[in-house]
Structure 1
């Protein structure tokens, strides 16, 4: 953990974030949210020179760091698993955080646009916007072969993964990086973990909060000095594996429909709400830890960390139906941790390592669920 994360006067200007502002054309951030930028909005091309500031100053760069990043922001109709994307933006950065280009599009969610007072995109504005299937290729081109970077990345990634699953496509994303997790690793002196606080720390001006393009710009500007600070101190980046969905459910989705072909621009919309998830208490006592090579036993406490190819709630439902207890955290009482990314730095993985909790991947867990032993004394 670093003791002093703030830039000092004797440090290179690029570490403060003040001299490395990403150029953004004024219409991109000054236009009202109700008048989103068109898909073909011209973007500035800026390429890093062969010798970025860090290299010119003789600083080494970790060989394990990714070769490129896609800084992403999506605005959505809500927070639930059946909600949809209404706008998306990507800033592509090179290995050292220099901007290469950016892209933005509104998206017709085929439902009520949700909190218009936040993102400013009304049903009228989105009526003629492209469907996600119509921008999927362009979006994928910007994400391909790069680490997805977002603020609270699990949310942006989950929304993107679901949109591609609906389109019966596989998103070209293999890893993601959350800037909240990176700020914590760097021990940045922030009052909270909001994007505005990270931006203020590096002197980055927000011009239109909750406009996907401006939020992506702000995050790209703040990510660059964080990346260079991490590189200078040899900090391991908090990279997590992105697992595309192969089995999923819309859950409480209530409405939707294809874009009206009659020219009216109107379509049926569903509600945007987040259903409560309160599971019944497991009726069986905890029999202890899972023994590798053995069977799961009813009552075992199972925690799940990271992405799963089967929708997380579906996987948890199956475990509950088999008589297992789904734990929200890992403790010394946890019987088993399920994760597809055992080398990640998530709190569950770190605690499992500390407690010696057995770990299996999703595929192995799926096989174990097929033959769960009855609880001792249950007569099963």
Structure 2
């Protein structure tokens, strides 16, 4: 995309919070380029890996599964600088966006020029061009009859702010309210920031790239099953299935372990069937399989990529499990340390109190003594989540932890294996 030409660069950012001084970071950038008359000449957008948790995901709707594929700000700094160079920066609440951009560029070692003096804030300018409009982007767009479908997507919001600027230019015609800043912006000196070959990443990328982990295993000749290789794989399955969800990071961990153990796709499928059979054996231990236990088995079979008849076959099997370790599992005990990370509904303090009431001990940081990490997003890239994965500490969602707390135990199938499904 051409850059450095006279005109406007309309910016929108999604961030982990409100202030860089609180260590908040950019998680998405949207840029729409306009010529001096307000006509669109290009656009660019990408998710950004903030290398921490994602903050208020209920607002921006960005998932860690997507962001894990995204470049860091350092990797996009050169491309973004190329888009902004020579142009008037525009944003709805420009001070907010420029504060984050200055902070992020400074972290890379590049001090960008002071852009506030040559910028245009569509929120501030609304007082002149839309005096009856609310200050919000949605409110201004409603008054100006500009569609805004998908608010809090950086590119969608940048397009809306660009349409607002174009609306202001039409209202001011034939005058050009910002002719002076167009000239000033083109004269600013920018540091030389090299571009990388990193491609932009948009939302939804995980659905395109993260196929079921079984399909990503090598399709080589299977080997005879043995306990030495089965036990660690079953142990990881115990942790992965604890919250009825296989996150992208957990899928990667299963693939990495399978490669380490020299397991082929056929090996993994066989172990999955043995794992399911062990759970079915535990469910039948008292002579009855309840509807809740059947739902549990169906869910595990689906998560492990087994066919719809796998549960029937597992329940029909007699005798003890081939690998007894598969019927064991993770279990919290009173006094165990539990850590929380990310922004959770009700606040982290509420969840820590719930842990205390269940007999567990909330802890501030991940150590090898911690038994469980509760994360707002199980693919979180927070320092706590990264350390938990390195230590092999299970990571579960708040909903899963709530089921553990309510039931008084974290496991379900009569033998303390998997959490019972929500009703």
Band of TM-score, shorter chain: 0.3 to 0.5
Bigger Cα Rg? 2
Q: Give the structure with the higher percent helix.
A: 2
For normalisation by structure 2, the TM-score amounts to: 0.40
TM-score (norm 1): 0.45
